[in-house]
Amino acid sequence: MSFKIAGPALGYSQMEFKDHGCNGPAADMPGLPGGFSAVLNTESSWTGQDFSLDSRKYILNLSAADIKELENALEMFKNSGQDGDNVTRDTFDLPVLGDTLCQVSQDVNSGRGFAVVRGLDPRKYCVEDLTLLYLGIQVYIANEQGRQDKKGNMLVHIIADNSTAQHAEHHRHSTSSIVNIIRTLARSDWPFALPRFHCRPILFNHQGKVIINFGRAPLLGSAAHPRPEHLPALSARQVEALDAVEAIAQATQLEIQTQAGDMHFINNLVVLHRREGFVNGEGSHEKRHLVRMILRDSQLGWAIPDELKRDWFDAFEKDADRAWHLEPMPEGFFPLRINTN
């Protein structure tokens, strides 16, 4: 993993910097910011060791009866003649499995912050049927789907590029062990370059919940998305804080060996996540193809801080077109880094 740190700020005066909500350096103050507790004792306060010995704690393995129920719901939905974007809990009825999936929703939104649903064999279904099955499972865990860019793409396809000889590992990191850098992360002077230049905190204490939401590329740039040189650079203290977050996250991470057909559900307001590189094999079943969606549950979804509301509005509430591309689009079609996490 490599990151490019931008050079010094060019083209922005201190006054213009403040106009975007970015404040200059502040004197150190003792203690934590107001409202932050020195200790978090919640289900989302975990380390990888808590789950590494028993994957049943976070993986729902679909039984043969579960898959039969899903296939029956699929046939009933197709026979109804409805469009695929109309999959809901009412139109995709799962009388038994639905209750189990609702518990998974509780785990993701109010518990540990992540879950995996495993058991569908993607080789058994055409792409349309497989997508409907995924959507049918998904709506019981999070019933709202978000636009991922200005084009209204609902599905983002991520294809292995053979760049590194590694397995398809996914990593989850609890953020609750990050304490010494809270003051820096909670300041409102973090200069994000994407999806537009703006400043906001990385860490929030909002309505009783600690929220962390960011990606390094909008702050530091990357090979694919270089940071514009005229934008303010991170301070040395901010870079140090990001490095500390990454070091602590790696020390407490959980590695998940992804299998074909897996569905990963991640509450990215409380869990940091990343993917390892992957090399395609010779057979069609050895080629990686990930599909990403942005989801929210209308009942269990967290209250959103004001600084994040614009992105949430654009994703979930804005009256705009939605595009469902079931197959991968040409390279560059999806601006993957428009979202900060």
Per-residue pLDDT reduced to its tens digit, 158-186: 665 443 344 445 555 555 445 568 889 99
Mean pLDDT (whole number) for 67-91: 94
Look at residue 333 and tell me whether its pLDDT is greater than 60. Answer: no
| Cα 148 from Cα 307, distance rounded (Å) | 18
Which residue segment(s) compose the domain that 247 sits in? Answer: 14-28+38-338
- Is residue 8 assigned to a domain? no
Q: What is the 3-state secondary structure (H, E, C) of the chain?
A: CCCCCCCCCCCCCHHHHHHCCCCCCCCCCCCCCCCCCCCCCCCCCCCHHHCCCCHHHCEEECCHHHHHHHHHHHHHHHHCCCCHHHCCCCCCCCCCHHHHHHHHHHHHHHCCCEEEEECCCHHHCCHHHHHHHHHHHHHHHCCEEECCCCCCECCEEEECCCCCCCCCEEEEEECCCCCCCHHHHCCCCEEECCCCCEEECCEEEECCEEEECCCCHHHHCCCCCCCCCCCCCCCHHHHHHHHHHHHHHHHHCEEEECCCCCEEEECCCCEEEEECCCCCCCCHHHCCEEEECEEECCCCCCCCCHHHHHHHHHHHHCCCCCECCCCCCCCCCCCHHHCCC
pLDDT for the residue 292: 84
Mean pLDDT rounded to a whole number for the chain: 80
- CATH number for the domain including 110? 3.60.130.10
Residue 5, domain member (yes or no) = no
Residue 163 lies inside a defined structural domain of this protein:
yes
Lowest mean pLDDT among 26-40, 90-104, 117-131, 206-220: 26-40
pLDDT of residue 331 exceeding 60, the answer is no
> What percent of the chain is modeled with pLDDT above 70?
75
| Residue 295 CB burial class (10 angstroms; 0-12, 13-18, ≥19) | buried
CB 245 within 8 A of CB 181: yes
The residue ranking higher by pLDDT, 140 or 154, is 140
pLDDT band, residue 29 (cuts 50/70/90): low
Please tell me which residue, 221 or 286, carries the higher pLDDT value.
221
Total domains in the fold of the chain: 1
Answer yes or no: is 248 within a domain. Answer: yes
Q: Is 75 a residue whose pLDDT tops 60?
A: yes
Residue 206: inside a domain, yes or no? yes
Q: Is residue 9 part of a domain?
A: no
pLDDT tens string 232-284: 999 988 998 999 888 888 899 999 888 989 999 999 999 988 766 554 445 55
3 pLDDT above the threshold of 70: no
Task: Decide which of 62 and 83 is more confident.
Answer: 62
Q: How many residues does the chain have?
A: 341
Mean pLDDT of 194-205: 90
Tell me, what's the pLDDT at 62?
98
For residue 249, give both structure tokens. Answer: 């996250």
- pTM of structure: 0.80
Over residues 149-161, mean pLDDT: 70
